[in-house]
Homo-oligomer: A and B are copies of this chain.
């Protein structure tokens, strides 16, 4: 399959490298890493075993890549206003677009530009960071849940999931993408938000009973808001506790928003906070702690 990676940060580089290693024809659209990757390929340092791709197809513009079968979008959501410019040259008659971005609103924005029938959403539970140019670090987890933005042909999602699984990634299809998106928000909202605000990694928050309780309260606000829509199954409150235990195994992991703040980048507040908050308040849900956290983040960014 001919695949273009748009937004080759920690997520795009990691999954792109795995897909190339599994035999797919992968084309990376690069900015920061272009020189390094063109010259010496890509190095992946992974808990599942390090590997190296000495030759990688690297590009500076989407026009050089041209139409592909699959566009994998890993952009930071604050760059979504560049969708048209970056993706249009990659789209042909049968092109599918898979967004693995954070938060809500990405599928909708892509559907508006390229047609809902092309759009697949993926929720990635991945702990990875960029290293030096041409290097990526995979620290933990990595599984992906895929779903159609509009129910058209569930089989194509099964095929995509199978291809990703052949690359060594735990991947399954869901018929309720919204539920998967909100499940990830249950983690992303407290941990990305609080770690970025306090500039402390996840283990610092979990070590103190008061912040651990706050994380849980924020998770419960998100779960209650999620359940205001007709999900295939409600998210149980116990999901908060399993996410806390899951995070206990992450050590001193810094969520992406904390790294974005450290490195002076914009924060993904719209996709991770404001769109979910709008959804919640439009359904009469009260999310005082999530709202407060979003406001504090906007004030420091």
Contacts and interface: CB of A to CB of B under 8 A. Distances in A.
Interface of A: 194, 197-198, 200, 204-205, 208, 210-211, 213-214, 217, 288-289, 291-293, 295-296, 298-300
B300 A198 contact: yes
Q: Interface of chain A, helix or strand or loop or mixed? A: helix
A168 B293 CA distance: 43
A125 B210 CA distance: 31
B288 A210 contact: no
A300 B206 CA distance: 14
Contact of A292 (B200, B214, B300): B214
A295 B198 contact: no
A292 B289 contact: yes
6 contacts: A198-B299, A200-B299, A204-B299, A205-B299, A211-B295, A211-B296
A130 to B, nearest CB: 27
A277 to B, nearest CB: 11
A300 B210 CA distance: 12
B288 A197 contact: no
Contact of A214 (B194, B198, B208, B295): B295
A208 B299 contact: yes
Contacts of A210: 295, 298-299
A51 to B, nearest CB: 39
Nearest to A197: B296
Contact of A198 (B213, B289, B296): B296
Contacts of A289: 288-289, 292
A197 to B, nearest CB: 7
Contacts of A197: 296
Contact of A299 (B211, B217, B288, B295): B211
A138 B288 CA distance: 37
Contacts of A295: 210-211, 213-214
